[in-house]
Amino acid sequence: MKQFNKQATSLLLAAGIGFAASAAWSADSLQDVLKARGLSQQDLLAAAKTYVPTGKRDEFVTFSSGGQSGQVIVYGIPSMRILKYIAVFTPEPWQGYGFDESSKAVLAQGKIDGKDITWGDTHHPAISETNGEYDGQFLFINDKANPRLAVIDLRDFETKQIVVNPIFKSEHGGAFVSTNTEYVIEAAQYAAPLENKKFYPLEEFNEKYRGGVTYWKFDRKEGRIDTKESFSLELPPYSQDLSDFGKGPSEGWSFTNSFCSERYVGGIEKGRPPYEAGCSAKDTDYMHVINWKKAAELVKAGKAKKINGHNVIMMETAVKEGILFLIPEPKSPHGADVSPDGKFIIVAGKLDTHVSVYSFEKIQAAIKAGKFDSKDPYGIPVIGMKDALHTQVSLGLGPLHTQYDSKPCIAYTSLYVDSQVGKWNYCEGKVLDKLSVHYNIGHLMTMEGDSMKPAGKYLVALNKLSIDRFVPVGPLQPQSHQLIDISGDKMQLLYDMPLPLGEPHYAVSIDAKKLKPAVRYKVGTDSRTDKPHPGKVRAGEEKIVRNGKKVEVFATLIRSHITPETIEVEVGDEVTINLTNLERAQDETHGFTVSTYNVHASAEPGKTVAVKFKADKEGVYPYYCTEFCSALHLEMQGYLLVKPKGWKPTKMTLAKGNYTEADYKATVKKVADTQVIIDSVVAYITSVNYKDFPDVVAMVEDAFDQLGKTKGLKEKHEGYAAKKDWESANLWAEQIWQYQVKTADLGLRAKTYLEQNGAKKVK
Ligand code: RUQ
Ligand code: CUA
């Protein structure tokens, strides 16, 4: 084997395939390291609890809002290693998002009044649920600024759909899902007239401005929101805020906070007290309690009004039908979080030290008995706070959001002003523990913490300010996520993670085992529609089709060439290049761009994707693969030739290599030598139980796939050699070697894997 390795190394180094040197540990003891780095026992414990050794994986996967970046950030827990940015509302070049035709079509769904909106203020991600538990199939996230909601499929972590809210001008209370993801909720934020482009002066705020809540119908089979089956409830102009769906006993109901139920209109420039004063003048705001199941039935029964083509149940109808109620809640509430058992709704008032625990049972009793304290100015019955409260607990300054533990009755609430996490018992109304975070926590999040079966273990504090925690990087500082161990009685701070994409409002974490993402697409798939791409082709079917001024290229990508390698068009032509990645191998993504035409595509194995542009400048434009996919990646190239009108070729001779018979013979020998190596690797692999390692099986398949492409090439180079065309003979022999190199690369990777993972000899 030693002998083989030496030989292999020299040949494969020539092909650019390197070997990792074995890591040498220095002789430091643990004590030496602690001393040298100034670490405490506590630090060491925290490190041991978060460190995920090389080759091992995280237990949970977190989907964090990317805030104003309009993206979603994916990271692992407990390591806090970032795994992915999912492009959602904002173009993202690596994924080709906004630079290829299919993803441009997704972004175009988010146009408002025909205008492109290329960013989003993402707030709250939600994972789809089955029977109240995260199922790991879909992710939803809202855009507060431009009232929109996006659907991400967790089979490929790609954004599939963006829907625009037809009646709001801003939103906040989304995305949250019902227990079987029948609906995704999206509540308005700043009140505005519901009719599109209707103007009413602020003096008519109380009469003409409205809030509301939208229930987006999710079609799980299609993996898309069905806008026709979706509906909204008209609500008073109370700045609706965070929302949650009921579950268990409260199934069929939803709860939405509000602030500024004063309906105050500011105007600091006119000498009026500002919004912040007028919107916090009263001691209470309102929680909206809505029977959404009945609301859906009312829509079916034709009791909704069409506004901007969308079904809206007007307040009057909602009151008459008994599906809408209000309950006072303390000063400027923010979070509304239903407990895992569905019995309680926990609300925190930003300007009150209390968290209030509302009992769903008490709310229902009041509704049944018709026991209301009053009506609001729009005739909505108001249930007395005392009649709905289970308990109130004084927790600290600026309580915002609540998350739940796997242990019954245990909740965690963020304390924005105190910069603390409060752990408490909501059944008994007792404070249990407090932990300082750095600084000014907004949301917090426990593992599967808003499902019916929270997983406990960890909590993440999503802090608004990082101030002194990280190496300074200028006035705009990173956001900060802090990982906290909640498995014991006392919370323990484990890790500070700077997040350089902000502002992440909320995050959700799922058991990593529940995620079953695909490794490859069925060949020719348009990943944004999940359907066969009209531009797909198989190997050997590549073509260039001209139709008037339109040129359509049907190209394929495979290590390490793009077919075709030359595209000739005339200036002014509209060029569409469809690219199918023929790879089956895991992680063999090819990228594609054409110089200066502002197009880019990421073609993962099996995907077909198209780029389109007008070839409006005559000249020579290299195109190439942008992903370092193989040793000959740099050679994965071609030319777009944009010719002037009426250009005619004169004499054409391509540059020659002047290869000799000796060159040809040397190449043939190289091919034979490499085959010996491949054979020995194959002998090793088949001598062990490689079939027990699915990753290796995939590599072996891919290796033979590559080797299979050499078929017919031997006859080809021998044919040219017989005609003494040494150039063609040499280059076709060389092409065999290129396939061999890829085969050997995979084989050696498989061999290393087997050796490291304890493969056993088979007889
Ligand atoms: S909200 S903390 Cu959307 Cu609480 Cu930001
Ligand atoms: Cu394909 Cu680089």
**Which residue, among 178, 174, 199, 177, has the nearest Cα to 187 in the 3D structure?**
174
Residues 614 and 715 in one domain: no
Q: Which atom of ligand 1 is nearest to the CA of 464?
A: 2
Show which of 514, 540, 557 is a domain's final residue. Answer: 514
**Ligand 1 pocket, 442 CB below 6 A?**
yes
pLDDT category of residue 629 using cuts at 50, 70 and 90: very high
Residues 509 and 533 in one domain: no
Residues 578 and 667 in one domain: no
Q: Which atom of ligand 2 is nearest to the CA of 629?
A: 2
Q: Is 25's pLDDT higher than 70? A: no
Q: Which atom of ligand 1 is nearest to the CA of 462?
A: 2
What CATH code is carried by the domain that includes residue 586?
Answer: 2.60.40.420
At 528-549, the pLDDT tens digits run 999 999 999 998 899 999 999 9
Q: Of 17-21, 644-648, 664-668, give the range with the top mean pLDDT.
A: 664-668
Q: Whose CA is nearest to atom 3 of ligand 1?
A: 123
Count of C-beta atoms within a 10 Å radius of residue 607: 31
Residues 196 and 229 in one domain: yes
DSSP state of 634: G
Q: In what order do the strands lie in the sheet with 600-603?
A: 566-570, 637-643, 619-624, 590-594, 600-603
**Ligand 2 pocket, 625 CB below 6 A?**
yes
Predicted local distance difference test score (pLDDT) of residue 478? 95
Predicted local distance difference test score (pLDDT) of residue 20? 45
Q: Is the model more confident about 630 or about 321?
A: 321
**Ligand 2 pocket, 633 CB below 6 A?**
yes
Closest ligand to Cα 560: 2
From 443, 450, 460, the mutation candidate for ligand 1 (largest count of ligand atoms within 8 A of CB) is 443
The span from the CA of 162 to the CA of 146, in Å, is: 11
Q: Phi, psi at residue 530, to the nearest 5°?
A: 65, 20
Residue 589 falls within a domain, yes or no? yes
Residues 181 and 68 in one domain: yes
**Ligand 2 pocket, 636 CB below 6 A?**
yes
Q: Which atom of ligand 2 is nearest to the CA of 559?
A: 1
**Ligand 1 pocket, 717 CB below 6 A?**
no
Q: Which atom of ligand 1 is nearest to the CA of 505?
A: 5
The span from the CA of 94 to the CA of 75, in Å, is: 18
Domain limits for position 613: 525-643
Lowest mean per-residue pLDDT among 12-16, 127-131, 235-239, 690-694: 12-16
Structure tokens of 702?
């891919």
CA of 457: how far to CAs of 3, 97, 378, in Å? 51, 35, 45
The span from the CA of 573 to the CA of 553, in Å, is: 12
Q: Is 2's pLDDT higher than 60? A: no
Q: Whose CA is nearest to atom 1 of ligand 1?
A: 505
Show which of 481, 514, 547 is a domain's final residue. Answer: 514
Q: Which atom of ligand 1 is nearest to the CA of 442?
A: 2
**Ligand 1 pocket, 443 CB below 6 A?**
yes
Structure tokens of 618?
């005559």
Residue 654 falls within a domain, yes or no? no
Q: Which atom of ligand 2 is nearest to the CA of 590?
A: 1
Residue 611 falls within a domain, yes or no? yes
Count of C-beta atoms within a 10 Å radius of residue 409: 17
Predicted local distance difference test score (pLDDT) of residue 12? 55
**Ligand 2 pocket, 627 CB below 6 A?**
yes
Q: Is 48's pLDDT higher than 70? A: yes
- Rounded to the nearest angstrom, the distance between the alpha carbon of 1 and the centre of ligand 1 is 60
User: Which SS3 state, helix, strand or coil, does residue 712 take?
Assistant: coil
- Rounded to the nearest angstrom, the distance between the alpha carbon of 455 and the centre of ligand 1 is 23
Mean pLDDT for the chain? 94
Q: Whose CA is nearest to atom 1 of ligand 2?
A: 590
Residue 653 falls within a domain, yes or no? no
2-14 vs 661-687: helix crossing angle, rounded to 10 = 130
Average pLDDT rounded to a whole number, residues 689-704:
89
Residues 602 and 737 in one domain: no
Closest ligand to Cα 630: 2
Residues 76 and 148 in one domain: yes
Kindly state the percentage of the chain with pLDDT values over 90. 87
Kindly state the percentage of the chain with pLDDT values over 70. 96
Burial 180-208 (b: 16+ CB within 10 A, else e): ebbbbbbbbbbbbbbeeeeeeeeeebeeb
Burial 425-441 (b: 16+ CB within 10 A, else e): bbbeeeeebbbebbbbb
Predicted local distance difference test score (pLDDT) of residue 225? 98
DSSP state of 559: T
Q: Is 239's pLDDT higher than 50? A: yes
Residues belonging to the chain: 763
The span from the CA of 537 to the CA of 370, in Å, is: 67
**Which residue, among 626, 607, 627, 623, has the nearest Cα to 615 in the 3D structure?**
623
Q: Is 11's pLDDT higher than 70? A: no
At 340-360, the pLDDT tens digits run 999 999 999 888 899 999 999
Q: Which atom of ligand 1 is nearest to the CA of 400?
A: 4
CA of 381: how far to CAs of 207, 267, 286, in Å? 18, 31, 11
| Burial of residue 422 (number of CB atoms within 10 Å: 0-12, 13-18, 19+) | buried
**Which residue, among 238, 249, 354, has the nearest Cα to 287 in the 3D structure?**
238
Do residues 173 and 230 make contact, with C-beta atoms less than 8 angstroms apart?
A: no
Predicted local distance difference test score (pLDDT) of residue 14? 52
pLDDT category of residue 13 using cuts at 50, 70 and 90: low
What CATH code is carried by the domain that includes residue 115?
Answer: 2.130.10.10
Overall domain count for the chain: 4
DSSP 3-state percent helix, strand, coil across the chain (nearest 5): 25, 35, 40
**Ligand 2 pocket, 562 CB below 6 A?**
no
Q: What is the pTM of this model?
A: 0.91
- Rounded to the nearest angstrom, the distance between the alpha carbon of 563 and the centre of ligand 2 is 12
Show which of 462, 481, 514 is a domain's final residue. Answer: 514
**Ligand 2 pocket, 742 CB below 6 A?**
no
Q: Is the model more confident about 653 or about 695?
A: 695
| Burial of residue 382 (number of CB atoms within 10 Å: 0-12, 13-18, 19+) | middle
Residues 325 and 345 in one domain: yes
- CA 689, distance to chain mean position in Å, is 37
| First and final C-alpha spacing in the chain | 19
- Rounded to the nearest angstrom, the distance between the alpha carbon of 660 and the centre of ligand 1 is 71
Count of C-beta atoms within a 10 Å radius of residue 175: 25
Q: Phi, psi at residue 304, to the nearest 5°?
A: -95, 155
Do residues 285 and 325 make contact, with C-beta atoms less than 8 angstroms apart?
A: no
Residue 655 falls within a domain, yes or no? no
Residues 588 and 451 in one domain: no
Residues 484 and 598 in one domain: no
Predicted local distance difference test score (pLDDT) of residue 1? 41
Residues 696 and 635 in one domain: no
- Rounded to the nearest angstrom, the distance between the alpha carbon of 171 and the centre of ligand 1 is 12
Predicted local distance difference test score (pLDDT) of residue 350? 85
Residue 649 falls within a domain, yes or no? no
Average pLDDT rounded to a whole number, residues 99-116:
97
Count of C-beta atoms within a 10 Å radius of residue 586: 14
Q: Which atom of ligand 2 is nearest to the CA of 628?
A: 2
Residue 55 falls within a domain, yes or no? no
**Ligand 1 pocket, 464 CB below 6 A?**
no
Q: Which atom of ligand 1 is nearest to the CA of 144?
A: 3
Average pLDDT rounded to a whole number, residues 641-653:
85
Q: Is 7's pLDDT higher than 90? A: no
At 717-756, the pLDDT tens digits run 999 999 999 999 999 999 999 999 889 988 998 999 999 8
Closest ligand to Cα 332: 1
Q: Is 367's pLDDT higher than 80? A: yes
Closest ligand to Cα 172: 1
- Rounded to the nearest angstrom, the distance between the alpha carbon of 316 and the centre of ligand 1 is 31
Residue 652 falls within a domain, yes or no? no
Residues 677 and 631 in one domain: no
Can the peptide bond before residue 461 be classed as cis, meaning omega within 30 degrees of 0? no
At 243-283, the pLDDT tens digits run 999 999 999 999 999 999 999 999 999 999 999 999 988 99
**Ligand 1 pocket, 400 CB below 6 A?**
yes
The span from the CA of 426 to the CA of 408, in Å, is: 9
